[in-house]
Amino acid sequence: METNNYEAAIEAILFTMGESVEIDKIAKALELTKAQVKKIVANMQKELESDSRGIRIIELENAYQLCTKPEMYDYLIKVAKQPRRQVLTDVMMETLSIIAYKQPITKSEIESIRGVKSDFAVNKLVEYELVQEVGRLDTPGRPLLFGTTEEFLRRFGVDSSENLPEINPDVIEEIKEEAEKEVSLKSND
C-alpha cells in the first residue's frame, strides 16, 4: 500500500471511530510498525496544519484522535445551536395519520383507536408543530381537540386537510382484521 493510501486509511479509521484510537490498533489494522504509523501520522499532522483545513490529528497517550481546530469552534457552535432534525417514529406517524384523518379529535379518541396511551406521540407532534390544539370538546371535562397545522400541510405536500389521499379500503380491512386478532388474543389470556 502506498503512503497516500495509508494516510487515507488512518484518516478513515480516526473519523469513523470518533474517539482516540491506540497506535497499536492502527498499526495492527494496517500491518505496520508503531514507528511507521507515527511517521505517517506526523506527516498528516503537518499537512493538516499547513493546509486551510478545519481538522487536525492530536496524540493522546499512545493514541491518535481526529479533532476540530480550535479556530473553527465559533462555526461549530452556530451549527450545534440549530435544532436537531425531527424524526417521526412509526408511533408518531400512526398518531399523526389518525389526527389528520379524524380531526378534530381528542387524545382519548386517539388512544381508543390505537389501543395504547398516546401522550408522548401527541406531545412530540405538537412540539414539531405538525399538530396543534384546535379547541375543546363540549362535554364534561372539556377535553382538548387536536388537528393538523399548516406546517403539516407543507411538510406532506397537501394544500388542505380535505385533500388528503384516500385510504385504501383493503388496508382498512387488513387493519380491522389485525385489530380483531389482537383483541381475541388478549381476551384468551
119-132 pLDDT per residue, tens: 999 999 999 999 99
Q: Which pLDDT does position 81 carry in this prediction?
A: 72
Which DSSP string corresponds to 60-84?
Answer: -SSEEEEEE-GGGHHHHHHHHTSPP
Q: Which three three-digit cell numbers place residue 144?
A: 382538548
Distance from C-alpha of 35 to C-alpha of 157, rounded to nearest angstrom: 58
DSSP state for residue 141 in the 8-state scheme: T
Half-sphere exposure of 78 (CA within 13 A, CB side): 4
pLDDT digits (tens, 9 = 90+) for 1-42: 676 799 999 999 999 988 889 999 999 999 999 999 999 999
Q: 155: pLDDT confidence band, cut at 50, 70 and 90? A: confident
Burial (CB < 10 A; 0-12, 13-18, 19+), residue 2, is exposed
Q: 157: pLDDT confidence band, cut at 50, 70 and 90? A: confident
Average pLDDT value over all residues in the chain: 87
Q: Which pLDDT does position 104 carry in this prediction?
A: 94
Tell me where in the chain the CATH 1.10.10.10 domain(s) lie. Answer: 3-78, 90-188
Q: 187: pLDDT confidence band, cut at 50, 70 and 90? A: low
Q: Which pLDDT does position 50 carry in this prediction?
A: 77
What CATH number has the domain spanning 3-78? 1.10.10.10
pLDDT digits (tens, 9 = 90+) for 167-186: 777 766 776 677 677 667 66
DSSP state for residue 85 in the 8-state scheme: P
Number of neighbouring beta carbons within 10 Å of residue 162: 6
* Mean pLDDT computed over 145-170: 85
Q: Which three three-digit cell numbers place residue 107?
A: 387524545
* Mean pLDDT computed over 136-153: 92
Top pLDDT among 52 and 98 is at: 98
Distance from C-alpha of 38 to C-alpha of 18, rounded to nearest angstrom: 19
Terminal alpha carbon distance of the chain: 64
Q: 87: pLDDT confidence band, cut at 50, 70 and 90? A: confident
Taking domain 90-188, whether its CATH number is 1.20.58.220 is answered by no
Q: Which pLDDT does position 9 carry in this prediction?
A: 95
